[in-house]
Structure formats: C-alpha cells, structure tokens
Structure 1
Amino acid sequence: MTEEPGREHLCRGGDGTALRGRIWECADPEGLVVIRTPYDADQHETTARSWNARGYHCLVQDVRGRYRSAGAWSPYAHEGDDGGRVIAHLLDEYDGLPLVLFGASYAAHTALEAARAVTREGASPVSAIIALVPALGLAETAWDAQGSPQIPHRIGWWHEHGRHRRSRPPLPAGELDRRVAQARERGVVEAAEHWGWSPSALTGWRRLWSAERVDLASRYGHIDVPLLVISGDDDFFHDDARRLARAWSAPNHFASGPWGHRLAAGVADPTLRSGIRAAGGLTHIIDPWLAAQGLPGAPAEWTGILTDASVSASRTRSTLDPASGAWRHERTSP
C-alpha cells in the first residue's frame, strides 16, 4: 500500500508572509511535532515518518525566505515571530494535541525561538523541546568558546545556505581553502567583498561577525518546558549545547556521544558505528525521554532519574561511552 504524501500546509507571519511546509499525518495522533528548517521541508519525509510511527502528526516548514516560504532570507532574524505564529495557527488547527518542538542545528534555534515567543509569564502551550547540536545564534556560529573565529565552516555554510532561497552546491575544497586563506590574511569581512556575493549577502555576512553572544538565561530562562539537548563530543557547537542546558531553568536532560555535527550519521569508523547502533543510538534517549514527560514514547528503566520526586535537581545527563558501547545515565548538579 502506497503511503499518503505529506499534505501542503500554509500559515502566515505577522506581516502576512506566506510560510509553507508539509505536514505528515498519522491515523490516531496523540501529539504534534513541529520542525522549522532552512534545509527544504520536502527533504524531511523520513524524519516526519519516524514521528508518525511514534503517534505524532509532524509539520516540517520552510523558514521565511527559504524554498517555498515567501519573504527575504535573513538567518536568525525572524524565527521567534514566525515560529510563534505557526504555533498559534497549529493550536487552532489541532486543538488538544500536545505540541513538541524538534530540530537540529539551525532548526534547534527555531524551536527555542518559537517556544520563547509563545511563553507568557512562565506558561507555555509547548509540551517539550528537543534540540540537537543547537546552533544558538549568529555569534555562537561565528566564534568558538575560546573566542576564535570559526572561519572554514562559516564560509562553507554561508556560501551554501546563507545567501539564496535554495541551497547551492558546496565550495570545492581548493576554493574553500583559498577563501579561508584570504579571510585570515585580509579579514573575514574584507575578503568576502571579492567573492562575488550580492550586497544583501555581504550585509548578512557583516551582521554575522558583529553579532553578540546570546544571554541564554535572560533569553530562555522564563520557559518552563522540559528540554532535551543532544550534542556530540566532536561537534563545533558542543560548548554552547552544554551552556544551554546549564542556563535552562526547567527540567532538562543533556545527552552526548562520540560524534560530530551530523550525529551518528557522520561516524565513519565502522566499529564505532556498530557500537552506537548496539547501544540503541539516539532512539535510546529520545523515546524514553518523551515517555517520561507523559508524551507518546517508549518507557525505559533508566528514566527513573528523570521522574524521582525525591530528587530536587532538575538536570540529568546521558553519555554514550565508546569504549564500553553503553549509555551511562546520571543526575547532575543544579
């Protein structure tokens, strides 16, 4: 039997901008997942279907200015306002279903911003947030935790994703190396003036390098929603993921393992990849964590650390040890 394709979905931003996506629906929904992405909603069917299998409708939406959504693409500029509008629209459309915000990298930023936009005096219509390898803001992507510029992957990302409605092919390795050398010699802003970028792309590039870091406690500390943060020991945003978990005032769980920004999909070593699969991968974390929040998921014995009412600490952690090939779960200090 052929599966039904995702249904076209439309809602509008506060200025009337058409925000388009695709929603994959399941027969007996017990929840609703929202993913807002700059990486083409149509390419997320596998992820959406995995949420359907858990009992969730899943909306994947192109952010403003990307793919089928209208407006101008300006990274990190509109996700709070637009995300808040989307949530309000969905709460009317699917009244009564608990809502989960989910996303990796930039989409983790959109999830956090949408939750911030709809939280009023500590109350939120969001039931849970799952943020994987979060790219928290412009400055967090431009500079590492020690204040060094992250030049190669910023040039690569902005060339590929940051300038146009649709992503472009990545720079050839030799050309990327040439631009990195130019940026280090002339400065990241000055060098870009010779790369053939449009005036609007150069404006965004300058905004990237002049942005200030997000004060996470001030920006998100009022959100009383359980948070699951998943990071990678080799991810360039690993320090910011830990910073997010520490700043979160509501119960939060931090999970990490021996991978980088592409998570387990980016692990090349076959022995390590096999060990990750044997340990259950991220499913071992996500499904039990959802169940522990009273949401559709798969209960597991280890989540007792999340639900023990006798423990006042709201922070917990899971670490996948590559040597033993097993997850370790523990409470952490508040």
Structure 2
Amino acid sequence: MTPPRDARPHVCRTDDGVALHGWIWEPETPRGVVLVRTPYGAWRHGDTARAWTRRGYRCLVQDVRGRHCSEGEWNPYLHERRDGASAVAALRAQDPQLPLILSGGSYDAHAALEGARDVDVDALVLMVPALGLAETAWDAHGRPQLYDRIGWWHQHGRGSRSFPPLSDDELRARVASAERRGVERAAREWGWTPTVLAGWRRLWMTPPVDLDRAYGGIDAPLLLVRGDDDFFHADAGRLAAAWRADVHVVDGPWGHRLGADIRDEDVRDRLRDSGGIGAVLDAWLTRTGLPSGASSTRHIVPAGRRSRSAFEPLSGHWHHERTA
C-alpha cells in the first residue's frame, strides 16, 4: 500500500473496540462531510474522494472491518450496520454542524445503507448497489450467479487482502464442480478456511433483504444510480420503490463499472460532453439544499418525492422528470 500524499490517516473505534482505519481528504473550508466504507482498499478511492472535496466536502474513505488497515475479522455483509453507525458517530462528533452524506457503489453502497439504519444522515448517494448476500447470489429469475460469486469470494472474500483473480479455466472448472456437486461440497476442495466456508454457506442460505423492514426507517433523500446493463438493475429498482423519503433515480446505458462499461466510444463521448453523472449529482445536491461543486448547474432536477434522470445515448441528452 502506498499512502495517499493528499490525505491524512483516520481511525475510529467501534462499540466492541475494533479500530477502523481510513483516509480523510479535505478541502480548505469544508461545507459538508462524506463517508465511504469499502472492502477494496481505502487508499484506492482517492479519485472519488477528490471529486467530493472539489464540491466542498471532507471525505473519509474507511476500510471495513477485517480488510486492509482495519482490525477485526472479515465477514462479508455481516458487520456494516454496527460499524457504519460507529463511523457516523465519530464524524458527527467532529463536525456536528456540517451535513453528512453516506456514499458508495456496489458493496460500498450496501455499507452505506446499513450505516444509515440507526443514525441520522442528511443524504445517501448510491451507485449500482449490492443490497445483500441473496441479491448477489441469485439473479432476478432465481438462478445462481456462480461465475460472479465464486470469482468474487476467491478474490475478495477470504481475508484482509484480495487475491489475484482465478484464471478463466480454473473459474470454469469450479463452476462446473459447483453445478455438479453443489456449492457447499465443491467449495470444500478449494482450500478455504472454516470461517470462509461458513460465510460461503451463509451466502446461499440468507433470504433476500426485506427492504421495508431494513431501510423503511431511513428519513434521508437518496440519489440512486443504476445501469441498464448492470446485473443489480432490478434490485436498484426495488430499493427505489421501497424508499420512503425523496428518491431520485439516475438511469443510463452502463454496467456495473458505470461509464467504463460503455463500449461505444461515441456514447462515452456524449456522456462526457453532457457533464456525465457528476453534473446530475450537482443538480440533485443543489435541489436538496446540500453543498454542490457548481455555481450554476447544467441540469434541473425536478422537485418531488420521486424523480428520475435518464441519459439518452443517441442524442447525448439527459431527460429529467418527476415520476410521482
């Protein structure tokens, strides 16, 4: 790990004494605070943090429990509610007067949602969220997503550091074994520890998230970015439908890596020329009354409890509408 030169280290302790480490990027005069919690290495999120600091936000990117610099044992999708609340409390104690946003994509979006369950936050900004174990294990038709899950747990689910990905041949062989013998019996031959195997069993046994029960008490506006080609698209739609506070959905022709998944160079250019997702974020922040990086926005996000912005790839224009 190479520490970022433009950030300072941060540590907070959970209610059970585990030290969670991260990095803080800071503007000269903070007007808000953003928290991102990730299993993928806090120092790797420098570009994301700098985008927030340009908008006037102090940004803490924190390694989740058991990953990289943070203490504890890594159990995917198990500790983010409790630990996220501890991180929010630490930031609130430092800057009680500043608005606080929880943000992240994929697993980081799950961590943000869980962190908002028991504490008050001012907004959430989520991208292509992985809602929970079951939502990552099964597709919208109830089919097991073996390639994705075996690959992810091999690479990211087995300790404080990520491993190199499986080769295509080895991944195909493991998928074939899981199809033939079952996911649990096949995994016993992959050299995983008992702790990892227990998490692997939990992955396939956990029911889908009850969105109303889990997140119905969150009274904060939500900006939700989903992708037409993202495998979590349907789950993002379910989250938007269940959200009780204001929700603005951002749609476009991208996959799980957002603009990086757009193969058509002309479409990528049109998205960039339109201001991209960041321009819609600025408009939404302004509409929500939160600090924004733009003195005047290129887009007008309509007021209302439910609204939507959709990027049209052929014209390169954004379409903004109220949906309820």
Q: TM-score, normalised by structure 2?
A: 0.95
Distance in 1 separating the partners of 2:21 and 2:148: 28
Q: Show structure 1 runs of 5+ residues with no match.
A: 119-123, 307-312
Deviation at 1:200, TM superposition (A): 1.1
- How far does the alpha carbon of each residue in 1:17-47 deviate from its partner, in whole angstroms, 9 at most, with x for none? 0100011111011000100000000111111
- How far does the alpha carbon of each residue in 1:223-260 deviate from its partner, in whole angstroms, 9 at most, with x for none? 11000100100101000001000000000001111111
From 263, 268, 277, the counterpart of 1:268: 263
AA aligned to 1:300 is T
From 272, 275, 287, the counterpart of 2:282: 287
Q: Show structure 2 runs of 5+ residues with no match.
A: none
Partner SS for 1:282:
helix
- How far does the alpha carbon of each residue in 1:92-149 deviate from its partner, in whole angstroms, 9 at most, with x for none? 112211101110000001111111121xxxxx2x111001000000001001111111
2:57 alignment partner in structure 1 = 56
Q: Compare 317-326 and 34-43 and name the one that shifted more.
A: 317-326
Q: Compare 272-281 and 241-250 and name the one that shifted more.
A: 272-281
Partner SS for 1:328:
strand
2:167 alignment partner in structure 1 = 172
- How far does the alpha carbon of each residue in 1:285-322 deviate from its partner, in whole angstroms, 9 at most, with x for none? 1111111111111353643512xxxxxx5111111121
Map 1:228-247; keep pairs closer than 5 Å: 228-247=223-242
Map 1:109-124; keep pairs closer than 5 Å: 109-118=110-119, 124=120
8 Å contact kept, 2:283–2:301? no
1:322 alignment partner in structure 2 = 313
Answer yes or no: is 1:87 the counterpart of 2:88: yes
8 Å contact kept, 2:7–2:25? yes
Map 1:150-169; keep pairs closer than 5 Å: 150-169=145-164
RMSD: 1.3
Tell me: CA distance 1:275–1:304, structure 2 relative to 1, closer, same or farther (3 Å). closer
Answer yes or no: is 1:300 the counterpart of 2:314: no
8 Å contact kept, 1:83–1:117? no
Answer yes or no: is 1:211 the counterpart of 2:203: no
Q: Compare 256-265 and 184-193 and name the one that shifted more.
A: 184-193
- How far does the alpha carbon of each residue in 1:35-90 deviate from its partner, in whole angstroms, 9 at most, with x for none? 00000001111111111111010000000000000000001111011010111111
Distance in 2 separating the partners of 1:276 and 1:171: 33
Partner SS for 2:300:
helix
